[in-house]
Every structure is written in structure tokens, then in C-alpha cells.
Amino acid sequence: MNAPTDNAPAAAQDCSIDDMQIWWQVQRFMHYEADLLDHREFDAWLELLDEDISYRMPLTRNVRRDAMAQEYSSTRDAAWFDEGIDTLRQRVAQIRTGIHWAEEPASRVSRLVTNIRVLEMAPDEGGGERVRVRSRFLIYQNRLQTEVSLFVGKREDVLRRRDGRWKVLSREIHLDQNVLLSKALTIFF
């Protein structure tokens, strides 16, 4: 399969039918995931996550143009969250208790996922395949009468397909704000 490179202009990228089918499958998967989360189907969402998931949102820093490599905190530094499957399951269980102070009453959330690009495709050591995907998101969250939060940013995911099913193996979320304007960070990205 041809794997488009990060820096190649769109017109210069040759896409095979296989490439287009993978992109279509990935796009459908990401839209399905957003729909599950918007409808609070958290248990079904957890099923889309690989047991080895790394789910991370580094801090965003304001840096000079010549230091753009330090715009986001590294894996050794603090992050808004840096979680695995166990922590994500605990967060879902906490929401389900009905006594999660920041999610009672529950937020109304709409996620838009767009600009989905498959950057790399490779075989997976388990016999399936992996794809590295970059996308953009806009998330609207409303709670109570007047609490509104907007989250805008970029994601880089690695999806793994085994036995015909895609799962999220890693997700790194980059917010386009360096100060969190929301009262709490209770949603999933």
C-alpha cells in the first residue's frame, strides 16, 4: 500500500483503491466513536479502545517560533491527562455512579471530528495492521443553563486492526489553548 507522507502536497500523493478504502474505514470509525461518546454510550466506547491504549493530553505552552518543538509537554512532563485502559474504565465507572459532581447533571456534548488523514499504514506484529491518523476536533459542552465549554484542537491516533475490527492503540490530544478555560475536564476526546 502507498503511505502518504506528512509533507507531500495532496496533489502529489498517489492514492490506491486500498488507500482510499482504509481512509474511508478510518473516517467511519472515528465518526462512530464520536457518536457513541455524544450519546453517552461509554461502555461501547471502551470496547473501541485497545487494552494497551495510551491516552494523553499534553500541556500546551506559548513558545517562540524558534522553539516550536517545545509547544507541547513531553511524555516526561506534566499533562492534562496521561491514562491507560484501567484509568479510562475508572473514569467511566465514576460517571456512572451519578455522584460525579462535575457531571451531575450530565453534560450535553457534540463532537465534530474532521480533516482525517491517514499518515502511515503498516503491518501489526499481531497479524493485523496499524495506521497513524491525524485529525481535528471541535467539542461543544453545555451543562446546567449557562455553562458552556469549547475545546478545539488536533489529535494524532494510532489505530490497530485485528480480526477485522479497528481499535484505538494511542491517542495524543493537542488543545489549541494553553490555559484550560473549562471548569473541569470531564469529557473524553
**What integer pLDDT is reported at residue 16 of this predicted model?**
83
Structure letter (DSSP) for residue 68:
G
With CA atoms as reference, report the closest residue to 118 among 134, 100, 106: 134
**Domain coordinates of the chain in residue numbers?**
15-175
With vertex at residue 81, the alpha carbon angle to CA 155 and CA 101, rounded to the nearest 5 degrees, is 115
Question: Is domain 15-175 classified as CATH 3.10.450.50?
Answer: yes
**What integer pLDDT is reported at residue 101 of this predicted model?**
75
**What integer pLDDT is reported at residue 44 of this predicted model?**
98
Q: Which residues touch 4 (CB under 8 Å, ≥6 apart)?
A: 13, 15, 19, 117, 118, 119
pTM of the predicted model, to two decimals? 0.84
With CA atoms as reference, report the closest residue to 144 among 105, 185, 182, 183: 105
**What integer pLDDT is reported at residue 78 of this predicted model?**
83
pLDDT in tens, 98-131: 777 788 888 999 999 999 999 999 998 878 899 9
**Cell 491516552 -> residue:** 55
**What integer pLDDT is reported at residue 2 of this predicted model?**
42
Cis upstream peptide for 9 (omega within 30°): no
**What integer pLDDT is reported at residue 13 of this predicted model?**
59
Which segments in the chain show pLDDT lower than 70?
1-14
Question: First vs last Cα of the chain: how many Å apart?
Answer: 29
**Is 115 within 8 Å of 138 (Cβ atoms)?**
no
Q: How many CB atoms lie within 10 A of CB 147?
A: 13
**Is 157 within 8 Å of 168 (Cβ atoms)?**
yes
**What integer pLDDT is reported at residue 156 of this predicted model?**
97
Name the burial class of residue 72, with classes exposed (0-12), middle (13-18) and buried (19+) by CB atoms within 10 angstroms of its CB. buried
Alpha helix (H) residue ranges in the chain: 17-38, 42-46, 85-96
Q: Letter for the amino acid at 31?
A: H
